[in-house]
Amino acid sequence: MDRVCIETNDDFGRHIVLSGDVKAGEVVVDEFPFAIGPKQASNIVCVNCFEDLDFDKEITACRVCTWPLCEQCQEETAVYHKSECEVFKKANAKFSGMINNETGVCTQLDCITPLRVLLKKEEDPERWEKEVECMEYHDLARRTEIETWNADLNNVAKYLRGPCKLQRFSEDLIMQVIGILEVNAFEGRTASGYVFRGLYPMTGILAHNCVPNTSRSIYPSENYRIRLRAMVDLKEGQQLYHSYTYTLSGTRYRQEHLKSGKFFICKCERCVDPTELGTHFSSFKCTKCDPGWFHTTNPINAQAEWKCTHCAYKLSGETVQKATIAMQMEIDQAMAMENSPEKIEALEKISKKFKSLLHPLHYMNTGMRQSLIEMYGRVNGYGIADLPDILLEHKQEICEQVLRVLNKFEPGISRSRAFTLYEMHVPIVLLAKSAFIAGVLSPENLKDRLQNAIDVLNECVSILKYEDKASQEGGLCTLAEKAVEQLNISAESL
């Protein structure tokens, strides 16, 4: 932690700046969670390992307190459930198993993570006072969201003070903890891929930017420790940023998410630029002239007028929003399909349909490409051995297009970049071998193409080497390393 210091100003409140230069990949923050638990609005999960439990069958339960616990966690020491287990047992607060039939959400589990924070406060009051109590929780803004506030009040605060008999925690304190979690906690994944919510006090106070300069890695095998790394080389005094929203969403969606969930409007360089750093990530093709691109005159105002970069054509923000929503709904319907040949064909059809309307790098195009990248090579009829050269070329092309965007919005140490690089190496290798067999490539040319694939994989490894080896990302790193070894052998034999 000697590489960073906490500063405060009116724009960002408490935030972190570097106390010295760092290189890409170097750790700038290293901490253990204050508490972890089920994600907010969860379905029924094991409260210890967060595995989804099948509520169509009998839910396995803790033998002590009756709250949901998978069979494996019942046989082992349920470390994360231990703290609240005694509370539920002592109060005879039974798990009801009730879920919302429309959403599948079990609201009773919403109390678990706040309760763990409260119990940790008692166990480690020094860390609470030093790191957690001072975290922002936007009390006044949250109170204006009456429906959400009342749900939290009834489902968590009153439940903990009533059936759980925890009157020692005031209603105000419980609501403060809920707010701290809502504003500062974020979701991660266990080694098995199950989603959890964690409160990391230092990482949680990083300022937001839609082009982050830090990447976080969670290590399930080390008690969910988190290490925050510089994505690119950074200088002393530079502020550290993370993204509180999905970087591959358009500006309007990012702004809506940040305003409703984090209670602020982002005015980062990307958000105030109508072209989103030259990517035209939210731009449309002008229908009145051939060379023009259509974008908003004020990205952080949803009602702002849109105008062409080349001609005088203009449209109201409301008109553009309606068109955007209609297109997104059509895409969402296709995206909701099971991965299948039909889904591939539906997305390709929509992509062609919108070609004359959207900028090639538009976020809707990018989202469809990400789904197609994942399916090409894995879906029946589109398995990697089934793909003709034209589809291999297509997969390589859409990987390159997604990377063009990621290189702008997530430069350097980015897992999204690593996944796309890994996917791209496959068509590069197969196309090279196909051309060699057809006599189009000489052995020397084939060696050059294989070296290109090796370089792509090495960049993938250079990103994923920091991940927990037990995680899915760590597993992909191992696969990439083995692929590099095999390709080196092939190249050396030529």
* pTM listed for this prediction: 0.90
Average pLDDT over residues 75-98: 91
Of the candidates 10, 40, 492, 19, which has an alpha carbon nearest to the alpha carbon of residue 240?
19
Question: How much of the chain exceeds pLDDT 90, in percent?
Answer: 88
pLDDT digits (tens, 9 = 90+) for 334-370: 999 999 999 999 999 999 999 999 999 999 999 999 9
pLDDT of residue 165: 97
pLDDT tens for 166-210 read: 999 999 999 999 999 999 999 999 989 999 999 999 999 999 999
